[in-house]
A = this chain, B = another copy of it.
Amino acid sequence: MCIGRFLENAWNIATSDPRKVIHGVKAGIALTLVSVFYYMKPLYDGVGGNSTWAVMTVVMVFEYSVGAIVSKSFNRMIATFLGGSAGVGVHWIANQCGEELEPVILQASVTILAAAAAFSRFIPSVKSRFDYGVMIFILTFSFVSVSGYRVDKLLELAKDRASTIVIGTSICIFTSMFIYPVWAGRELHNLTYKNLERLADSLDGCVTEYFKENEENNGRKHEGYKFVLNSKATEEFMASMARWEPAHGSFKFRHPWKQYLKVGASMRSCAYCVETLGGFINSEVQAPELLKKHMREACMMLSTSSSNVLRELAMTTKTMTRSTKTQFFVQDMQFAVQSFQDVFKHLSKQALLLTEHEAVKENTAQKTKTVPIMAIFPITTMATLLIEITERVKSIVVEVENMATQADFKENKA
């Protein structure tokens, strides 16, 4: 049963994103390529028994995106070199100090460097870029400094180790870049414009759901904002990996990946508001139908104008082409806010009459249905939230425009 469900789960993942299957196949190919070194005699002689290390390199380094592989490869190479050098250095120093002090110096150096390395992994700048490198550094350093080898034997070992790592990482980078490459940068780019679309859909969905006349279900289309809320970690990981990638597709070498994080943050700020708005849809306190009917058009206009801006930004990001329409849509949104406020002024006068009427009835002790003033609160809140959302959409516009400038988006010739 359990295995059945597991396989079903795996099958669903495989069919929903075939690139994950391709990643598996690529990993298989990379490992096969490296294990070829065990079978081809001349190569075997060249790299020797250390080919174990080439296999290990491939297994440890082969990640999903090109950026992650390049990052780990770089970390592994540099850290092995630094760790090895430091090890040889300490070894040499310990050797000079005589037989008695030697183990003490070696042991102390391992303890101190291991402690420093373990601590350094808490420093954010180290953690985000060199986490794997620190681990490999201390690993290599420990191997070298505590091994009983003499220095000349160590140098020979170092040469072997270096060649296995170069072979392992080259195979990984080659496989990842030339067989259906998955670029962290492109993933981040796609995630960003898809999140803009999701936000637009959620906003439309929420408002439509609130004002729907019959009980049709719109299929929870408006829950896309949840995805936006939970994208922070993914965005940060992708952005930090994307920095390691060479130019690919429309992305130049120094593409402003950090700016995507700012766009993401402004999107989340907007999504918080949409989440709050969504909370009111299923709220028990609903505005009276009459009022809702009255407000429907103005609210829809407001949300549609905001989501139009979001969709235009998504399109700008997707096509990497500045759109002349964005400013038009922003003005449209401003206009919607203005006309919304007019409707409200009009409404508040009506509500006034309604309450007056109510007061009169109370005095004459007639029992008729009256609309409590509290009933207009859900709709004023909705109004204020929608207006707040337009404000937050404007800051997304600013961040996307910064991105367009920094990344040198094409001008629209249409």
When the two chains form their complex, are residues A115 and B27 in contact, meaning their CB atoms are under 8 A apart?
yes
B24 near A119 (CB under 8 angstroms)?
yes
Are A24 and B377 in contact, with the CB atoms below 8 A? no
Residues of A within 8 Å of B, CB-based: how many? 86
Cβ of A328 < 8 Å from any Cβ of B? no
- Copies of this protein in the assembly total 2
Complexed CA–CA distance, A103 and B38 (Å): 10
CA of A67 to CA of B318, assembled, Å? 42
For A38, list chain B residues within 8 Å (CB): 146-148
A138 to B60, CA, bound (A): 10
How far is B31's CA from A120's CA once the two chains are assembled, in angstroms?
A: 16
Once bound together, how far apart are the Cα atoms of A168 and B383, in whole Å?
A: 62
Q: How far is the CA of A352 from the CA of B230 in the complex (A)?
A: 44
Q: Is the CB of A120 within 8 A of B10?
A: yes
- Whole-angstrom distance from the CB of A299 to the nearest CB of chain B? 14
Instruction: Check A24 against B374 for contact (C-beta < 8 Å).
Output: no
A142 to chain B, nearest CB (A): 5
Decide yes or no whether A125 CB sits under 8 A from chain B: yes
Contact A6 B103 (CB under 8 A): no
30 inter-chain pairs at a CB distance below 8 angstroms, sorted by A residue, are A6-B123, A9-B123, A14-B119, A23-B118, A25-B115, A27-B114, A27-B117, A28-B113, A31-B110, A31-B111, A31-B142, A32-B114, A35-B107, A35-B146, A39-B146, A52-B143, A56-B139, A60-B139, A272-B272, A276-B388, A283-B388, A341-B374, A345-B374, A348-B373, A348-B374, A349-B355, A349-B373, A377-B384, A380-B380, A381-B385
A27-B115, A349-B373 are known contacts; what are 10 more A-B pairs with Cβ within 8 Å?
Answer: A21-B119, A23-B118, A28-B110, A38-B146, A232-B233, A269-B275, A272-B276, A344-B373, A348-B373, A381-B384
